[in-house]
Structure 1
């Protein structure tokens, strides 16, 4: 009976050993093979065999992963405190899987011990070179400068920085209130400037219109004066012509009188006066 139990246990152990000797490695991973706790090799994706008991495997992901760093605080050049939200995409280097396990044990530990402190360090350094206003205005440059500094700092690390993004900057309430007040003041100044420009244009239009009316009045006055002058010259010429005609023909006056007489004599006559228009000679 005892022998049968021992045989059953042995068979079970044998089956477990056989089936436990095979393992698979997924795409996007590598398996670190340990021989008595020491790294012996790195297994590629696929089905593999290991020696029971003395060999074990530790999967290491080589997929690209995103890590968010929230509540990263830093001071600007003008001593304004900003709370930054950062997003970093990194990917472990395939050829460095054994090193990742040997030095850190896991990808997460590598990120915590290498990437996180260097991100914080470079953010504080680069952010400190920008004033709060320039950090807002030149956010693209701030993002690029931080990314370049991080890339330089992690050179030689067993992972690659795929991308970096400065997602948000949250300022202190006092600074945001000051920015809002300044924006309101600048908007008021801009409105006043626009009003002044509009009034200036309107004034220029009024001056132009007044000048046009004045020019029109002057032209009209000149025209009237010219017309008066021409009429006076014409009348003077007519007078001169009549005078010349009278001088050349003294009887013209009597002829004019005769032409204008209607043939009727005055009904009342003063004694000792001559009858008008009657020349006995």
Structure 2
């Protein structure tokens, strides 16, 4: 009896062990390639998958976003200056092409080696060959855009290039110093141009203000002259009218005297003299 229970226990252990061997767990962000006797069988999705123990095996392939660094890649600029560049490529394997990735490339590393590595080196050299050393330094952003465009357009296969980042561009120390001096000189020339332009603008403003002031003075002088002329004309007209009135009516003189008299008689009088405004002559 004890032997029977022992056998049953052994069988149970074997069954449980076999059950454990038949379960394969795939993480999220991965896909499993199920191989039966070494040949492709199916794709295992994330989660718990059942396989045939001792017959099936699973090779996991990541479909997460990842980066590959290409450090100190040599190249020549359009003006034949030697330099090195460090570039990082961000990529992701196509989740719907896992079978192709395994059967044709053997996995992620095969895709990178055969599709990306050689193309990166080639595209870097070709793009950099269109930039002079100076523009590669001063137009880093445009350089990055051109490199990324070349790689995304020319790397074909079960991989998506998400971005390309230029980490560093290094020319010789002597050349970089010469570029720095030239840039400083160009900046100084530009500064002098700006100062000259600003000075010219200030001069234009000064001339315009002087012209405006002169116009204002001229207009005021003209207005004053016109006012004086008009007043003179008015005074002359008034004098002419007054003279005519006196000629036509001599008694107006007496009327004016009366209008301007302050009401006081002279304190002293010449003997025999007439009182003011009193006409003693007969009518």
Shared fold, TM over 0.5: yes
| CA gap 1:135/1:7 in 2 versus in 1, 3 angstroms | same
Q: Deviations over 1:119-139 (max 9, x none)?
A: 111010111111112223333
What CA distance in whole angstroms lies between the structure 2 residues aligned with 1:196 and 1:46? Answer: 72
Matches within 5 A, 1:14-29: 14-29=15-30
What CA distance in whole angstroms lies between the structure 2 residues aligned with 1:25 and 1:202? Answer: 75
What CA distance in whole angstroms lies between the structure 1 residues aligned with 2:19 and 2:200? Answer: 96
What CA distance in whole angstroms lies between the structure 2 residues aligned with 1:179 and 1:83? Answer: 16
- Find the counterpart in structure 1 of residue 100 from structure 2: 99
- Find the counterpart in structure 2 of residue 151 from structure 1: 152
Q: CA deviation at 1:197?
A: 7.3
- Find the counterpart in structure 2 of residue 30 from structure 1: 31
What CA distance in whole angstroms lies between the structure 2 residues aligned with 1:6 and 1:82? Answer: 74
| CA gap 1:99/1:190 in 2 versus in 1, 3 angstroms | closer
- Find the counterpart in structure 2 of residue 167 from structure 1: 167
Q: CA deviation at 1:168?
A: 2.3
Q: Deviations over 1:70-92 (max 9, x none)?
A: 21121100011222121211111
Secondary structure at the counterpart of residue 79 of structure 1: coil
| CA gap 1:132/1:14 in 2 versus in 1, 3 angstroms | same
What CA distance in whole angstroms lies between the structure 2 residues aligned with 1:196 and 1:141? Answer: 31
Aligned length: 210
Secondary structure at the counterpart of residue 54 of structure 2: coil
| CA gap 1:139/1:202 in 2 versus in 1, 3 angstroms | closer
- Find the counterpart in structure 2 of residue 65 from structure 1: 66
Q: CA deviation at 1:97?
A: 0.5
What CA distance in whole angstroms lies between the structure 2 residues aligned with 1:83 and 1:198? Answer: 42
What CA distance in whole angstroms lies between the structure 1 residues aligned with 2:121 and 2:149? Answer: 14
| CA gap 1:182/1:35 in 2 versus in 1, 3 angstroms | same
Matches within 5 A, 1:268-279: none
| CA gap 1:166/1:33 in 2 versus in 1, 3 angstroms | same
In structure 1, runs of 5+ residues without a counterpart are 210-281
What CA distance in whole angstroms lies between the structure 2 residues aligned with 1:24 and 1:6? Answer: 31
Q: Deviations over 1:28-82 (max 9, x none)?
A: 1111100100011101112111111111111111111122222112110001122
